[in-house]
Structure 1
Amino acid sequence: MNRAAGLGVSLYPWDVAGDPHAPDRIAGLGVDRVTLAAAYHTVRALSPRHPERKVVTASHSAVYYRPDPAHWNGSPLSPVEAAWAPGAFTEAAPRLRAAGLKVYAWTILTHNQRLGTLHPEHAVVNAFGDPYPWALCVNSPAVRDYCTRLAAEVAAQPDIDGVELESCGWYGYDHLHAHDKTGGVAFDQSTKFLLNLCFCTHCEAWYAAHGLDRLREQVREALEPVFRGDAAAAALDPQTTDAVGILRVHAAAGFQAEMVEAVRRVRPDLPVLLHTSPDPLAVGANPGSVPDASFGAVLQCGGARSQDALTQLRTYAAAMTQAVAKAGRAAGPAQPLAATVNIVGGMGADRAGLDAWVTELRAAGADELRLYHAGLASAADLAAVQALAG
């Protein structure tokens, strides 16, 4: 079968493990690659075509291969293998490759409810002292150690053709937590920026070292009127805001460089892509990054046409071109820019407009496409993918 170059789908490993027909079914869509979860966060997910299981409940963050205990010797933080789908990645990856598909290992880093709960000293803490156990702090040496070891261990897995790193940077307040009850007060972006700031012991020392020893007090003073209902938004003075923003961008860039280098030390031949945002201050699953020639990027472009998504894609593509030109020969092999498109109608995808939307994204600078998510998709969703690839 002719395959659409650079066209891939997302999958959970349990969508494939235990299903003898899954690899051929995915290959039959006409795509040429799969983004397959190797380390993933808590989730409840449908697997509608699996012959045995239909609803998978991943009760905590886990890995889907067998971690090597020796690799984690001396580390204060370490992963656990998923008891609900043991070895699923290890089974799924070679079977997908045998069907002619490339496999990119999808790896979640700082979003880890299990480790943030067990080790709150390494989680993000807001200005009021409230921990965010789903969010590990990139300023914690233990977190950086954990994430670099995880990235390296995933890169060492057999039967992979690339690594995609999600939550590779700052994570913060926004999070679809179990039964979220946080919508009582609507926060604007400036308020959320302050809610995302971390005040763990590592960050407190970091601020003090950069002359921001009163930052926690300033943030609390700015946020209190919003919680009382006396103000619609909260913000620091512009000079302090700029100083904090520069620090956070610098910290994220250093963290991201460490993760990419961890993969490169193990597999210098692999493409490494960050799930990211063109906004360098963005937090969450797709935290901001400064485009760099050493890594590729995956941008979230929604399930229907969006002028904002096109603008962001063009902006990041232009910045990547500049980064590669600046790096010159030291840049090494070109790293791709991918766009993730939601294909699930039940999650808001516009199936009828999918072909036109993908064409626009390619024209805006996307080298590759990631269609989210073939494991969750209905039969009609998959038919739209097949038509797109054909």
Structure 2
Amino acid sequence: MVTVVGYAYPWDVCGAPEFLSDLHRLGVTRVALAAYYHGVRAATPRHPLHRFVTATRSALYTRTDPGVWHMSPLVPPPPGPWSHAGAFEEAAGLLTAAGFTVSAWLAPTHADGLPESHPLRVQTAFGDRLDYALCPTAPEVQDYAARLAHQSMLSGASGLVLECVGSLGFDHASLHDKVGGADWSTSIRALLSICFCAACCEQYHTEGIAPTELSQLLRIAVDTPTGAAEEVVPADVMSLVWKVRNRSAVMLGTAAVAAASRAPDFTAALHASTELSTTGAGTSAIIPGVDTYIAPCWNDHPELPHTAAAVTQREAIAQVHRLRQRIPKEARVASYVTVVGQHAPTTGGLVRDWGAILEAGADELHLYHAGLASTERLANTAHALAQLRTR
């Protein structure tokens, strides 16, 4: 039996009764509903009231319990005119009444709209700050994640889906990005993602690393023609940097899960990676209380021609294999798949690709994203999932 978790925004559900029928046709049993989410322009091609929603910044879509946020140095803003506080509760109530279980989808370190001088933002070796990224090493950010999780449990969720638990890096689809001409390789972008906020510098000291010397080495590495850290920074030093980053993600994730785990029938899923140097949605951290680790398996990369899909499909299968080897034996592996990439999926293509992922050992498919998909894409997805269930 194929277990399908569907991802949704509150506005996908509110005012759109047919969306519930769409989820049933897909065979979704659990919905990862955005409770705290970053800015987005989201298509709503089948909503009866609008065709897109523009959320200009991060927002908390639950109501705000004063007791949860008392004395917190970070307080999530409510949504602007694109939604309303309490939209999560409204959507969760509709989903629960329709027979779905609801997990709160949280991206705690992804915070659009932070002031330029905010001290908890990720800071590069050059002193540049990432205005969309809270650093998970900061105790205040770990506390923030715990409060977000607690608030979500008070608002009708029975579980968590955690994204952006680790550090967000340089790569980020924001504004009108004009960085392509710099010709920065993947290695250079990784170096530009290493944080030097006060909390990270303190942790580097703990590991015997001098932050000033490290930042100087990274600046040199970024400006070398190859951008290869191993040519400038000793491998053992980089290992300690990844150790600090991984430990920070563990602490933040543990705080979030602990704050929510008292809910009945609680489940926790984590967007994961097998690369210690990873930034963004996934993390290499193994977090107590997480029962499902989600492998990134989007196989429709906008920068690849359609004929290269088989290459990315092989990588998706490899991700599932590698993740299975890293996580606790009792944990489940989920595959994060998309139907809203550049290329409209066919039923046959989805059956082939997702079937291979399931055969590779994935226990669940996490489906992104029914509310964003056209009628044709959704129909092809439903047909594909129906065929996979007969295998």
TM-score, shorter chain, exceeding 0.5: yes
**Residue of structure 2 equivalent to 1:382:** 378
What stretches of structure 2 of length at least 5 have no aligned partner?
A: 300-308, 387-391
Q: How does 1:17-36 map onto structure 2 within 5 Å? A: 17-36=14-33
**Residue of structure 2 equivalent to 1:273:** 269
User: Which 10-residue stretch deviates more, 199-208 or 127-136?
Assistant: 199-208
Deviation at 1:155, TM superposition (A): 2.4
RMSD of aligned residue pairs (Cα, Å): 2.0
1:87-140 C-alpha deviation (Å, 9 max, x unpaired): 2221111212222222222111101113x3366200000011100011101111
Say if 1:278 and 1:288, in contact at 8 Å, map to a contact too: yes
1:339 alignment partner, SS class: strand
Amino acid at match of 1:233: G
Q: 1:365 to 1:373 in 2, by over 3 A?
A: same
**Residue of structure 2 equivalent to 1:6:** 3
2:370 alignment partner, SS class: coil
Amino acid at match of 1:168: V
**Residue of structure 2 equivalent to 1:331:** none
User: Which 10-residue stretch deviates more, 95-104 or 355-364?
Assistant: 95-104
Q: 1:19 to 1:99 in 2, by over 3 A?
A: same
CA distance in 2, matches of 1:39, 1:350: 32
Determine whether 1:301 maps to 2:301.
Answer: no
Deviation at 1:286, TM superposition (A): 1.6
1:192-251 C-alpha deviation (Å, 9 max, x unpaired): 2211111112222222232211211221222233xxxxx122312222222222222223
Say if 1:343 and 1:350, in contact at 8 Å, map to a contact too: no
**Residue of structure 1 equivalent to 2:325:** 318
CA distance in 2, matches of 1:190, 1:268: 44
**Residue of structure 2 equivalent to 1:330:** none
**Residue of structure 2 equivalent to 1:360:** 356
**How many positions carry a matched residue from both structures?**
368
2:277 alignment partner, SS class: coil
**Residue of structure 2 equivalent to 1:57:** 54
1:3-60 C-alpha deviation (Å, 9 max, x unpaired): x651132211101111233212322333322221111100001111111111100011
**Residue of structure 2 equivalent to 1:137:** 135
Determine whether 1:89 maps to 2:83.
Answer: no
Q: Percent same amino acid at aligned positions?
A: 36
Q: How does 1:161-310 map onto structure 2 within 5 Å? A: 161-213=158-210, 214-225=213-224, 231-235=225-229, 236-264=233-261, 266-267=262-263, 269-290=265-286, 294-303=290-299, 305=310, 306-310=313-317
Say if 2:254 and 2:287, in contact at 8 Å, map to a contact too: no
Q: 1:25 to 1:17 in 2, by over 3 A?
A: same
Q: 1:354 to 1:203 in 2, by over 3 A?
A: same
CA distance in 2, matches of 1:162, 1:290: 18
Say if 2:166 and 2:245, in contact at 8 Å, map to a contact too: no
Q: 1:348 to 1:287 in 2, by over 3 A?
A: farther
CA distance in 2, matches of 1:19, 1:293: 34
Deviation at 1:174, TM superposition (A): 0.9
